[in-house]
């Protein structure tokens, strides 16, 4: 029970206390109304007054809406349960003079209001509506709010006042021009300085009318950097191929600068928590940076160098295609594509007659109730049995070793990752702690551990991860990496974030929403589980770095093959052969 009460304490601690007060106030009004009805039910005049008083909860809800949610449907949606409680107060009104009818509707109202009230208070959203403010005022309010509620302020040593001072001139410039894109750019740069995978800015304006300043240009190619430092062209189009640049061509200079210098000076901070991941992606970003034309110097195998001028072709930049190809990120432009991505979650199959394959796209099941209950209990018994059934199915088909694919994992509930890990170990050990902040200190109040089941503890496993594996996926990568029979592998480290989201600030005129974490996840030492410190060094690195050489680039970009998966299968087969010897 300590885990359950601790989880609830954690939930209430991260909830917004202001809205809890509003909810409790509405519930108290409804309790007073119930008492008044008991004493007034025989007086027709007083019952008429009572019916009018039943509008008070709704009036309170309207006032709450006007103060906190007016003009912003997104913010209003977070308070739907609060407003539903106020509407429930009207349910007994038509039955005020009917003994049985009133008792039934009053009981129903009481039960539903209590349940909705408890849920709302436990999840009271940290949502703040600054849509009615100017650019500068809403930006100032954002900085102050994040200073109070951003959960990693102390861990990442963030000085929000200094950041506000740094970027306020850009906001003022955007306000003077009334340019939403410039406003977005300033706020986005402000947020990128946190280097937190859970902090992002979502534009709410027409990006066609106001193009985003950091939109990459299309020069007909993208670039990647190999392990030996060489930068080569990938995703080339016919236009640049006619100029002598093909997939695999070595790039030595960009925009007149040596490629290494251009990578250092011309790329913009993209907010990656792990600097090594940012460095790996930097050439892709650089391939979209420049003016209407750009000079590029290439070097051929013969040693001959040539400088060509590339023009911005307009349209979609190959940089996006290169990033998605490198990370194996599927297209998620439509609801159907996203649903297909989630439908593949937890799927299993045999890659050959010995190697099993488990996809883990997100730590969420089809049951929100089970996920939430498991979060409170600290143990996802349903997920564990689901994983058990899937792994037994693979073993029945001849599985001797397993690949767990965590690449591009969206996250969810760490308890699902813990459930999978428990089947691969016989030991009980610490998973994560739900924490609270007190005077700059982090305190764990609910410990969620790995409960060693051991049924598949003898199974050799490679867990594939990458820089898009974030949040609970990051946590799952960490838990699996601690097992002696599991090797965490990838060309990049996991994203480097594992806190709970929930903070949302809507800025001037609803032009953008800034989201950030407000719930604290800790390890056994009461420090953040995997989130990077100011040094941006991964605290959850891969154990084996999959090489990214020219042959790897050929397989990934030229042939469209899943190079990492093939590497994992070969690694397991070789490891299994060594064990037999």
Q: Mean pLDDT of all residues in the chain? A: 93
Query: Pick from 267, 51, 33, 181: which is nearest to 512 by CA?
Result: 181
**Per-residue model confidence as pLDDT tens digits over 120-138:** 988 888 899 999 999 999 9
Q: Give me the pLDDT at residue 13, please.
A: 86
Residue 558 is given by DSSP the state: I
**Per-residue model confidence as pLDDT tens digits over 210-234:** 988 878 999 999 999 999 999 999 9
Q: Give me the pLDDT at residue 493, please.
A: 97
Helix (H, G, I), strand (E, B) or coil at 107: helix
Task: List all residues 6 or more positions away from 447 whose beta carbon is below 8 Å from its beta carbon.
Answer: 3, 6, 378, 430, 431, 432, 433
Q: Which residue has the higher pLDDT, 337 or 80?
A: 80
Distance of CA 200 to the CA centre of its chain: 9
Residue 331 has pLDDT above 90, yes or no: no
Write out the two tokens for 268.
Answer: 């913009």
Q: Give me the pLDDT at residue 578, please.
A: 59
Beta strands per DSSP E along 270-315? 293-299, 305-311
Measured over all CA atoms, what is the biggest interatomic distance in the chain, rounded to whole angstroms? 102
**Per-residue model confidence as pLDDT tens digits over 186-195:** 999 999 999 9
Helix (H, G, I), strand (E, B) or coil at 344: coil
Query: Pick from 539, 537, 536: which is nearest to 525 by CA?
Result: 539
Map 497-519 to HEC letters. Answer: CCCEEEEEEECHHHCEEEEEEEE
pLDDT band at residue 198 under the 50/70/90 scheme: very high
The CA distance from 572 to 563, in Å, is 14
Residue 580 has pLDDT above 60, yes or no: no
State the virtual CA torsion across 264, 266, 269, 275 in degrees, nearest 10: -20
- φ and ψ of 538, to 5 deg: -60, 130
Half-sphere exposure (Cβ direction) of 58: Cα atoms closer than 13 Å = 11
Cα distances (Å, whole numbers) of residue 163 to 136, 186, 189? 14, 11, 10
Q: Give me the pLDDT at residue 112, please.
A: 95
- φ and ψ of 148, to 5 deg: -85, -35
Instruction: Please state whether beta strands 544-545 and 486-490 pair in parallel, antiparallel, or not at all (unpaired).
Output: parallel
Determine contact, residues 140/34, Cβ cutoff 8 Å. no
The CA distance from 421 to 461, in Å, is 11
Determine contact, residues 171/190, Cβ cutoff 8 Å. no
pLDDT band at residue 577 under the 50/70/90 scheme: low
**Per-residue model confidence as pLDDT tens digits over 3-24:** 888 888 888 888 889 999 999 9
Map 50-94 to HEC letters. Answer: HHHHCCHHHHHHHHHHHHHCCCCHHHHHHCHHHHHHHHHCCCCHH
**Per-residue model confidence as pLDDT tens digits over 42-74:** 888 999 999 999 999 999 999 999 999 887 888
Task: List all residues 6 or more positions away from 49 whose beta carbon is below 8 Å from its beta carbon.
Answer: 40
Write out the two tokens for 98.
Answer: 């009917």
Q: Give me the pLDDT at residue 188, please.
A: 96
Q: Give me the pLDDT at residue 215, please.
A: 84
């Amino acid at each position: 029970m300590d885990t359950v009460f601790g989880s609830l304490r954690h939930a209430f601690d991260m909830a917004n206390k202001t809205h809890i007060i509003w909810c409790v106030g509405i519930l108290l009004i409804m309790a007073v109304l119930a008492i008044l009805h008991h004493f007034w039910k025989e007086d027709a005049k007083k019952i008429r007054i009572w019916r009018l008083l039943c509008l008070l909860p709704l009036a309170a809800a309207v006032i709450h809406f006007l103060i906190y949610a007016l003009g912003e449907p997104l913010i209003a949606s977070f308070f739907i349960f609060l407003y539903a409680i106020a509407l429930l107060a009207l349910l007994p009104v038509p039955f005020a003079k009917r003994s049985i009818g009133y008792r039934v509707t009053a009981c129903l109202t009481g039960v539903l209001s209590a349940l909705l009230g408890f849920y709302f208070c436990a999840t009271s959203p940290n949502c703040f509506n600054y849509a009615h403010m100017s650019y500068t005022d809403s930006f100032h309010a954002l900085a102050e709010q994040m200073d109070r509620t951003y959960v990693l302020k102390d861990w990442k040593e963030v000085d929000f006042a200094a950041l506000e001072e740094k970027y306020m001139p850009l906001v003022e410039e955007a306000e003077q021009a009334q340019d939403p894109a410039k406003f977005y750019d300033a706020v986005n740069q402000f947020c990128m300085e946190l280097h937190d995978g859970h902090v992002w800015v979502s534009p709410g304006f027409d990006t066609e009318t106001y193009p985003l300043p950091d939109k990459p240009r299309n020069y007909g190619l993208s670039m990647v950097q190999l392990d030996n430092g060489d930068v080569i062209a990938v995703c080339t189009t016919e236009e640049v191929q006619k100029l002598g640049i093909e997939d695999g061509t070595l790039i030595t200079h960009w925009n007149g600068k040596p490629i290494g210098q251009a990578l250092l000076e011309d790329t913009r901070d993209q907010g990656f928590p792990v600097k090594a991941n940012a460095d790996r992606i930097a050439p892709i970003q650089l391939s979209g940076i420049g003016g209407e034309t750009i000079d590029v110097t290439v070097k051929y195998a013969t040693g001959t160098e040539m400088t060509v001028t590339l023009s911005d072709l307009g349209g979609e930049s190959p940089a996006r295609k290169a990033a998605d190809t490198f990370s194996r990120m599927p297209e998620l432009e439509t609801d159907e594509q996203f649903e297909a991505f989630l439908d593949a979650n937890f799927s299993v199959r045999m890659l050959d007659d010995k190697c099993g394959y488990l996809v883990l796209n997100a730590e969420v099941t089809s049951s929100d109730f089970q996920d939430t209950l498991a979060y409170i209990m600290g143990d996802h018994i349903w997920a564990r049995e689901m994983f058990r059934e899937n792994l037994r199915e693979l073993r029945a088909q001849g599985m001797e070793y397993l690949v767990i694919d965590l690449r591009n994992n969206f996250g969810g509930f760490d308890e699902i990752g813990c459930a999978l890990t428990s089947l691969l170990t016989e030991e009980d050990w610490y998973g994560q702690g739900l924490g609270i902040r007190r005077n700059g200190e982090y305190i764990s109040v609910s410990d969620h551990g790995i409960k060693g089941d051991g049924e598949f503890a003898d199974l050799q496993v490679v867990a594939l991860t990458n820089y898009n594996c974030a949040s609970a996926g990051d946590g799952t990568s960490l838990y699996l990496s601690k097992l002696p029979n599991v090797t965490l592998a990838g060309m990049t480290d996991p994203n480097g974030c594992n806190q709970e989201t929930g903070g949302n600030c809507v800025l001037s005129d609803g032009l953008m929403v800034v989201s950030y974490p407000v719930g604290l996840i800790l390890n056994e030492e009461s420090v953040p589980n995997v989130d990077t410190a100011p040094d941006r060094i991964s605290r959850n690195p891969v154990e084996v770095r999959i090489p990214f050489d020219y042959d790897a680039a050929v397989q990934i970009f030229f042939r469209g093959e899943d190079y990492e998966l093939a590497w994992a299968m070969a690694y397991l087969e070789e490891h299994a052969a060594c064990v037999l010897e």
